[in-house]
Structure 1
Amino acid sequence: MTTQSSAAVHDPLGLLAPDAAVERMATGCGWSEGPLWMPEARVLRWSDIHGDRILEVDESGAMRVHRTGVEFTNARVRSRGGVVQCSHGRRAVELERDGAVSVLVDRFGEHRLNSPNDLVEHPDGSIWFTDPPYGIESPKEGHPGEREYGGCFVFRWSEADGIRAMVTDMAKPNGIAFSPDHETLYVTESAGADDTDEVATIRAYRVEGVGVDARAVDGRRLARIDGGTPDGIAIDVAGRVWSSSGDGVHVLSPEGELLAFVPVPETVSNVTFGDAGWLWLTATTSVYRVATTTRPA
């Protein structure tokens, strides 16, 4: 059963559908994350990280458990004939396909990864992912551990090329997405080196080269989010950045201008587009959706 929030939105450009309301579609989680729309089944799949389970909800609000004991999975994308997802517990990027789970990458050289958090697939088939330390440092999000390679990087991985560090100048990279032309990489910064300097920012990097020669260069601050730390992000067909935050969803232009704001009654952890312009949100204990007038990139 869904419930609605009538809190006012800021939407001067009409990016939300007329009379759009934030609908709560499911609840009962410890920390909701990693939303992915599954069009064939017409369900949203997401993680209850604190509950160590993967859940699904359909468009009527009917919720079901997909799997339990999942080693604290986080973000996911459809790829390689299944779902590629981040595993805090395994400190890995893994593939779930046909009921089986296999590790794709869990090391950078001789060192274990921290706890892959969010990921995106490039048209060349490579997976780009962030590797902050939450799964090894935060209770209920993984297992205690050490930062073995000494930092928190953004990586590119493919079967052919292996793993390469693409961004090394961020303290805790978190959400990740490409612009529609894949020439810009957006990464959210969940904390600076002293946990204060770069809090609540989104950074943009220019992508040069292709394949194994790709590089992310010239990082710049795109925007600072005043309503709380940005986490997961989604990009629409016009290149606008739809960012989660502590107070709702902030919609930014490719230049970082605030275009719209959608208040949500819980801290929003991540966002993704579904069918027919729906934006789905994971937020603390719940999953929400709101109708938009745009579509994903």
Structure 2
Amino acid sequence: MHLRSLSSLAAILVLASCSSLRSPIVPGAVPKDHGPIGAGEGPAWKDGSLYFTDGKHINRMGPDGKTSVFRHNASNGLLFDREGRLVACESGLRRVTRTEKDGRITVLADRFEGKRFNTPNDLCMDSKGRIYFTDPRYGSREGMEIMASSSACSPTGTVHGKTPVENVYRIDGPNRVTLVLSASKYSALERPNGILITPDDRFLYIADNNNNTHGGSRKLLRYELDKNGDVSGKGKVIFDWKDGRGPDGMKMDDAGRIYVAAGANKATEFETTRFKAGCYILSPSGRLIDFIPTAPDECCNCAFGGKDGKTLFITSGGHLWSVPLK
């Protein structure tokens, strides 16, 4: 490589590094509240419309701002694949599905080694089109089928003498599921919720949110991935919400900044209001760059959208928020 090319490459890397530490929010911008439209999870943008879930259905907000039901009986994390098909974590039905362009539903995964998943929560996709998803269980532990060995260490208690385990999986093809991370095997992980993979497939970020347990993890963890897409080594803590409401859904922009929905405005038995509800914008290494406050409570997820892709949509307490980015 010529000296001039090396200099240009170095300049690009320096600029990229600097931009990842700058706030991406348009100066003077104020988050817009679109109202209590049942925006709980999701969200995902496609062709001028925002898709989100209300705990029971997938809803679509069109360019006119009106909301309608897109699919019944589906909830939680959403993404569109390269062919424009909607992939969803269906927590209630304990499966991950894809809505085909003709409306048919393809079940991509509903079991691991013959046992039903806990409640698939959130998902992301790598450069090869493989889907990674988290499988925690909040609330009652009854009905959990995936158990750890008796010698495994788990912070989530036992069910009928067995230890339930909450894992991270990868879908390599329809009903071809690979275990990526296990809370019983990796001591850094307790209850995986949000998930994000970097564009170069080098790092996997997990929102470890054991938020209904005193002293439970409320951390953003980063794992290295090998060339096969498997975790190599222990997780590194990137940010810690301590005794507040931990991280939920998240996204990454072109500069490598991470947008994490987290925090609460009302304390509970297990959570303080040390970290307010909103979107925490972090550098790739976990430095807090900026914060977008939301209301009424429990900021859950976020997505990029808008005509130029420079609007951040945030779901919080059933409300939908948006803020313009640079």
* TM-score, normalised with respect to structure 1: 0.83
For 1:182, the equivalent position in structure 2 comes to: 201
Cα root mean square deviation, aligned: 2.2
Matched, 1:79 2:81: yes
Question: Which of 1 and 2 has greater Rg?
Answer: 2
Amino acid across the alignment from 2:208: E
- Counterpart-to-counterpart distance in 2, 1:244 and 1:206: 22
In the TM superposition, residue 133 of structure 1 has moved relative to its aligned partner by 1.0
- The 5-angstrom pairing of residues 1-297 of structure 1 reads 13-29=22-38, 32-38=40-46, 40=47, 42-49=48-55, 52-68=56-72, 70=73, 72-79=74-81, 81=83, 82-97=85-100, 98-134=102-138, 137=140, 145-149=143-147, 150-159=164-173, 162-168=176-182, 169=186, 170-191=189-210, 195-210=213-228, 214-225=230-241, 228-246=245-263, 247-266=277-296, 267-275=298-306, 276=308, 277-293=310-326
In the TM superposition, residue 221 of structure 1 has moved relative to its aligned partner by 0.8
Q: Is the 8 A contact 1:222 1:256 kept in 2?
A: yes
In the TM superposition, residue 217 of structure 1 has moved relative to its aligned partner by 2.9
| Runs (5+) with no aligned partner, structure 1 | 1-11, 139-143
More strand by share: 1
Q: Secondary structure, in 3 states, of the residue corresponding to 2:225?
A: strand
Amino acid across the alignment from 2:194: G
Q: Secondary structure, in 3 states, of the residue corresponding to 2:133?
A: strand
- Counterpart-to-counterpart distance in 2, 1:24 and 1:78: 25
* TM-score, normalised with respect to structure 2: 0.76
Number of matched residues? Answer: 266
Deviates more, 1:72-81 or 1:163-172: 72-81
Q: Is the 8 A contact 2:208 2:220 kept in 1?
A: yes
Q: Is the 8 A contact 1:233 1:271 kept in 2?
A: yes
Q: Is the 8 A contact 1:93 1:116 kept in 2?
A: yes
Amino acid across the alignment from 1:65: V
Change (3 A) 1:107 1:80: farther
Q: Is the 8 A contact 1:26 1:57 kept in 2?
A: no
- Counterpart-to-counterpart distance in 1, 2:315 and 2:140: 22
1:233-290 per-residue CA deviation (whole Å, 9 max, x = no partner) reads 1011111111001211111111111110111123210011114310011112111111
Q: Is the 8 A contact 1:189 1:198 kept in 2?
A: no
- Counterpart-to-counterpart distance in 1, 2:209 and 2:23: 29
Amino acid across the alignment from 1:260: D
- State, as a whole percentage, how many aligned pairs show the same letter: 29
| Runs (5+) with no aligned partner, structure 2 | 1-20, 148-163, 264-276
